[in-house]
């Protein structure tokens, strides 16, 4: 009885009523979570992140309730394309919850199905940046930019990666490109200021990196995950 009432409450989030086929629930879930407003990097946008989390958590709970009466449901519900989108959503959810290991696992499952998802490439790059694997991260951002040169998120997070790797001049160039594509993003102005300050600090006597320092930083970045 409690599960039945809870199921009705969860279904209302998707404007559905009890008794609808599981395939319809899946379609509604994907429709909600793949709205245009979610087709950006949402990890730093609290309102969008919380809304996405509600939809995803509700769908997972619905699956658990339905699976209690049909053990084969989850295996038969998804097409390959839908499964790829679900893995992607699982990765976004884990990243929003700061579970980077699980996020990486889910994104790689999605990547096996669809390597053309630009947002997937950016999220994979973000995870590697967090792990300080800047070289590997750069490849994902470069691929995303190549696929869509007008995606300001790709330029912005590529710039973040360069900044964290200590490549401040290149970071500035990428932040400038992101600003041209999205002038409304005020965060870029602050990040450009950070780049300028970092470059000034780096240019002061005694602060220049030796080849040995650069090599040590690169090795540490490659192994600190």
- Domains contained in the chain, CATH given: 127-225 (1.25.40.10)
Residue 80 pLDDT exceeds 50? yes
pLDDT at 172 > cutoff 80: yes
- Which two structure tokens, joined as six digits, stand for 189? 């102005």
Per-residue model confidence (pLDDT) at position 207? 54
Across the range 86-114, mean pLDDT stands at 96
Residue 214 in this model has a pLDDT that exceeds 80: no
**Residue 225 pLDDT exceeds 50:** no
- pTM assigned to the model: 0.84
CA distance linking residue 13 with residue 55, whole number of Å: 8
Q: Who has greater pLDDT, 208 or 197?
A: 197
Predicted confidence at residue 131, as pLDDT, reads 93
Across the range 26-49, mean pLDDT stands at 94
């Amino acid at each position: 009885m409690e599960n039945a009432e809870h199921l009705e409450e969860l279904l209302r989030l998707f404007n559905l009523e009890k008794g609808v086929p599981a395939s319809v629930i899946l379609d509604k879930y994907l429709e909600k979570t793949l709205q245009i407003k979610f087709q950006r990097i949402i990890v730093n946008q609290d309102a969008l992140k919380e809304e996405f989390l509600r939809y995803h958590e509700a769908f997972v709970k619905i699956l658990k309730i339905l699976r209690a009466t049909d053990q084969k449901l989850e295996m038969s519900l998804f097409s390959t394309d839908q499964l790829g989108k679900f893995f992607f959503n699982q990765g976004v959810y884990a990243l929003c919850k700061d579970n980077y290991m699980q996020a990486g696992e889910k994104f790689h499952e999605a990547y096996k199905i669809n390597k053309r998802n630009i947002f997937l490439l950016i999220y994979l790059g973000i995870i590697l940046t967090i792990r300080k694997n800047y070289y590997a991260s750069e490849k994902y951002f470069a691929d995303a930019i190549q696929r869509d040169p007008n995606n300001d998120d790709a330029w912005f997070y590529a710039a973040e990666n360069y900044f964290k790797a200590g490549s401040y001049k290149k970071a500035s160039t990428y932040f400038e490109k992101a600003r041209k594509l999205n002038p409304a993003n005020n965060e870029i102005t602050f990040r450009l200021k950070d780049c300028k300050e970092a470059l000034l600090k780096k240019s002061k006597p005694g602060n220049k990196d030796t080849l040995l320092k650069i090599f040590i930083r690169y090795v540490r970045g490659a192994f600190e995950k």
